[in-house]
Amino acid sequence: MRFLQWLVLGLAVCVPVAQADLPDYQAFPADGDRLLLWAAPERGRAEPELQAARLLAGRGMSVWSLDAVSAYFLPQLPSSMDALPAQDMADWLRAALGSGKRVAVYAVSRAAVPVLRGAALLQPAERQRLCMLLMYPNLYTVAEALSEPDYLNVGDLSGLRVRVMQPRRSAATPWLPGQLDHLARLGATPSHVMLENLREGYWMRETPTEFEIAESRRMDAMLLRELDAWGCQ
């Protein structure tokens, strides 16, 4: 009987978590007062991301990890992220806010689009309670050589604090000011941090440098450091 109780408890707190109108995400519970919603990129969730989530939970920060292309049975393409139901994402954010913990969101690459769209559906007072970290966000509708970039309108982001994390070794680095301006035009309060000696998706590269391998193993510490340095509470 006790075994059954533990089994039910385990199923309740472990992965994946499936609720009506919420995307299927993997939960890493912790006792601390902070909760990180982690939206993996369009290429899917990589093992270093899961490992970082485990380590963060070990440090007291709960993590809800979402691999949206898997959860919604979509191809591993940037455009798949645009197809995610914004209302589901808003419900996910609301569920996190309802946990009573301090909530930060971490979205990678095109996954920034659905979480921003979800945030835009929240009430302003709810948005103000979020801290959103975007790792090399891709917010373009069109970005073609010799043409001015065109950005997605993800909705009203007034009151939302956003911090863009940009690996220096990226074709997107010269275009960071444009992405920050776009976020500001939508009402967000953007800031940024440059990640030196790293490339986009450094934790899932086929030929990573030694530094990238090391950084992949300490993504948990990097995220905590950046959240603390940012001071978004």
Partner 1 sequence: MKRLLMLCAMGLGLAGAVQAAGFETRAATPAPALKAVDLKGATRTLADYRGKVVVLNFWASWCPPCLREMPSMERLRVRMAGRPLTVVALDSAETREEVDTFLSKMTLGFPILLDPDGSNTKRWKVFALPTTFLLDAEGRVRHVLTGPTEWDEGEALALIESLMAEVRAP
Least separation in angstroms between CB 134 and partner 1: 17
Considering only the stretches 11-19, 57-65, 126-134, 139-147, report the one whose residues sit in contact with partner 1 under the rule CB under 8 A.
139-147
Among 1, 73, 196, 210, binds partner 1 (CB under 8 A): 73
55 lines the binding site for partner 1 (CB under 8 A): no
Q: Is the peptide bond before 114 cis (omega within 30 degrees of 0)?
A: no
Which three-class secondary structure state does DSSP give residue 108? strand
Among 146, 196, 210, 231, binds partner 1 (CB under 8 A): 146
| 172-231 binders of partner 1 (CB under 8 A) | 172-175, 199, 206-207
Considering only the stretches 92-100, 113-121, 155-163, 171-179, report the one whose residues sit in contact with partner 1 under the rule CB under 8 A.
171-179
Q: DSSP letters along 127-194, please?
A: HTTEEEEEES---EEE--TTS--EE------TT-EEEEEEEEESTTGGGHHHHHHHHHHTT-EEEEEE
Q: Are 130 and 160 in contact (CB under 8 A)?
A: yes
| 79-108 binders of partner 1 (CB under 8 A) | 79-80, 83
Least separation in angstroms between CB 182 and partner 1: 14
Residue whose C-alpha is closest to residue 103's, from 24, 21, 160: 160
How far is 63 from 74, CA to CA, in rounded Å?
23
Residue whose C-alpha is closest to residue 180's, from 199, 201, 194: 194
148 lines the binding site for partner 1 (CB under 8 A): yes
Considering only the stretches 105-113, 158-166, 170-178, 185-193, report the one whose residues sit in contact with partner 1 under the rule CB under 8 A.
170-178
Among 15, 74, 121, 222, binds partner 1 (CB under 8 A): 74
Backbone φ and ψ of 66, nearest 5° = -115, 120
Which stretches of the chain bind partner 1, using CB under 8 A? 72-75, 77, 79-80, 83, 140, 143-149, 169, 171-175, 199, 206-207
